[in-house]
Amino acid sequence: MSETASTRPSFWARHAWIIAAIWLFFLIFPLMTVWEFSGSPAIRGLGLASIAAFAGVYLYGFITLPDCLGGHAPKRAWTIFGILCILPLPTMLVDAANYLSFTPFLISFAAYLLGLRALLVTAALSFAGLVLAGWWLGSVDAVLSLGIAMALVFVVNLMVTQMMRAGQSAEHMRVELARAEERVKLSRDVHDLLGHSLTVVKLKSELAEKLLDAEPARAKKELHEIGEITAEALAGVRATVTGLRGASLSQELLNSQATLEAAGHAVTVSGDPDDVPPAVSVQLGWVIREVTTNILRHAHATEVLISWDVDSLTIEDDGDGWGSIRKDVSGPDAVEGNGLRGIRERLAAVDARLVLSESRFGGALVEVAW
């Protein structure tokens, strides 16, 4: 089954560095102050270097660190935050109030990469520093505009991170609900499978008992069929229980790849299944299993290509295709077996679409988009 939202990088973890890079534009204010400094060139150079280092470390943190919206920040995040607190100090040699220009960045870093408590503490210390600077410099007006900006940064970060936490919590609940529904359905499948098989076994064993003396050859045939039915039922139970154990999507892919290659198929995989949304990955595991089964049973293929993207999965082969009756089986008149029909229903439940058509190699093409 799928991985939980907490084990996959969130959208913010993958793209936050872009927003962080845009906001670095506002370092222009301390940068201009240092650049226009008419004192020692060494102090000016040290100030410019500290600003450049601050920008690099700040961006590095957002690129490499996971967000901690749903958990605790790693020690490395606190180390980077400490470095960020120290780097602006040389700019105070130019203007003692320069450090305050960096506090909105520290607030944002704390909000996304350290957690709510760190955000509150950082904001409180920043505002305290702002008040002390205004008192020390004797000019409240000089820091009033920065105070307004700092307050806006704090409020926006607090609101956005809380919304993101709520979104992650909702996604986690959705994944757990999808897992519960899968387990219920799989349990029902086991029940139906065993119920049907045991009923047939019971009837055939009673018939074999009656025929044992009168028609031993026919009784032997019935006993042989009982063995086949039992083996088939055991295989079905094993396959279903595998689903109940809840292998990850990556593991499902590895299992299918190994099975296909063992059967003589050349398998090429591109893309990363870990980019798939958790709720969708629950259903994609079924897609991979069903398509693998179809290829092994019907395709007579030699090559299989599996491609992952952030919003799609494509599986194609060079086998016999969907048959001569209808090449495009994605329309409403398509004739699909129970397996594909079930997959389509599963995907519809998570707003994903299944399209079946002819591959570029003349075989079958399976596309899933979400």
> Pick from 79, 93, 78, 22: which is nearest to 55 by CA?
22
Greater confidence, 144 or 266? 266
pLDDT at 212 over 80: yes
Kindly list the distances between the CA atom of residue 193 and the CA atoms of 179, 217, 241, 294, in Å, as whole numbers in the listed order.
21, 29, 12, 20
Residue 97 · residue 89 · CB < 8 Å: no
Burial class (CB in 10 A: 0-12, 13-18, 19+), 79: exposed
Residue 368 · residue 313 · CB < 8 Å: yes
Please give the pLDDT value at position 226: 85
Please give the pLDDT value at position 329: 43
Give the DSSP H/E element, type plus range, for residue 282.
helix 278-294
In the chain, what percentage of residues exceed pLDDT 90?
A: 18
Query: How far apart are alpha carbons 280 and 249 in whole angstroms?
Result: 10
> CB 221: neighbour CB atoms within 10 A?
14
Residue 240's pLDDT band, with cuts at 50, 70 and 90, is low
Please give the pLDDT value at position 193: 62
- Print the SS3 string covering 128-167: HHHHHHHHHHCCHHHHHHHHHHHHHHHHHHHHHHHHHHHH
198: three-class secondary structure by DSSP: helix
pLDDT tens profile 224-233: 888 887 877 7
Residue 313 φ/ψ, nearest 5 degrees = -130, 130
Kindly list the distances between the CA atom of residue 152 and the CA atoms of 107, 138, 305, in Å, as whole numbers in the listed order.
11, 24, 50
pLDDT at 236 over 60: yes
pLDDT at 330 over 50: no
pLDDT tens profile 245-280: 445 788 888 878 888 887 788 999 998 887 787 778
Greater confidence, 329 or 315? 315
